[in-house]
Amino acid sequence: MRTFYLKLFFAFSIACTIASCKLDAPVYPSGAQSGSNGNTQPGNDGNGLPIGAASNIQVKIGNITYIFNNAATYNVLPVGTPGFANGQTTLAAEGQTAEDKGILVFPSATTGTFDLSDMEAGNFKIDLTAQAKIKVTALSETNTQGTFSCDMVDKSSNKVYTHCLGSFNINK
């Protein structure tokens, strides 16, 4: 009987030791975030695709790069506009059809790095629950250029595409 209690005590001790073990959280490089597939990827910091030809918005979603290069334009609300203390800039271009549009909106009328307020690219929209940044490197009366990175959602299937990269170069 004594042997039985010793074995039971030993098994109980091992079970308690194992149960009290806790795995540490994974450590990722600075600026990385965990993707839905468990891989790490860079954060959406505004760095995107190389700036392309004039009068286009391009965005890579998954393995496909979409280019919007028809009727490209932008509008800048200046600093101090009622309701837009820092101004606001809206970029737009059409794809193959007038219904196929690329649209970017950010809350500023100057160059710099900002949060994207809104973005659409054809059948995709920005995932507002994730970080989305735009880096504006040129913004004048005749041209605006820059890059962006964000997560996008397919409007039809609600599938999320993480770390989508893009750029813009629009002349007036």
pLDDT for 35 beyond 70 = no
Dist. CA 102–CA 163, nearest whole Å: 17
Rounded mean pLDDT of 151-169? 96
Judge whether 35 lies within some domain: no
Could you give the maximum distance between any two Cα atoms of the chain, in Å?
A: 92
Angle made by CA atoms 5, 11, 14, in degrees to the nearest 5: 140
Judge whether 52 lies within some domain: yes
Window from 18-32, 58-72, 137-151, 156-170 with minimum mean pLDDT: 18-32
CA atoms within 13 A on the CB side of 89: 26
Judge whether 167 lies within some domain: yes
Q: Which residues contact 147 (CB under 8 A, 6 or more apart)?
A: 46, 47, 48, 49, 51, 134, 135, 137, 165, 166, 167, 168
Judge whether 6 lies within some domain: no
Task: Provide the b/e sequence for 12-42 (b: ≥16 CB within 10 Å).
Answer: eeeeeeeeeeeeeeeeeeeeeeeeeeeeeee
Q: How many structural domains are present in the chain?
A: 1
pLDDT at 18: 52
| Beta strand ranges found along 47-159 (DSSP E) | 56-61, 64-68, 70-77, 88-94, 101-106, 112-115, 118-121, 124-126, 133-139, 143-154
- Select from 145, 144, 164 the least CA-distant residue to 153: 164
Give the number of other CB atoms < 10 A from CB of residue 59: 27
Judge whether 33 lies within some domain: no
- Select from 130, 157, 133 the least CA-distant residue to 34: 130
Judge whether 7 lies within some domain: no
Residue range(s) defining the domain that contains residue 89: 44-171
Judge whether 98 lies within some domain: yes
pLDDT at 96: 87
- Its pTM stands at 0.75
Rounded mean pLDDT of 143-155? 97
Dist. CA 67–CA 147, nearest whole Å: 14
Dist. CA 95–CA 19, nearest whole Å: 57
Judge whether 36 lies within some domain: no
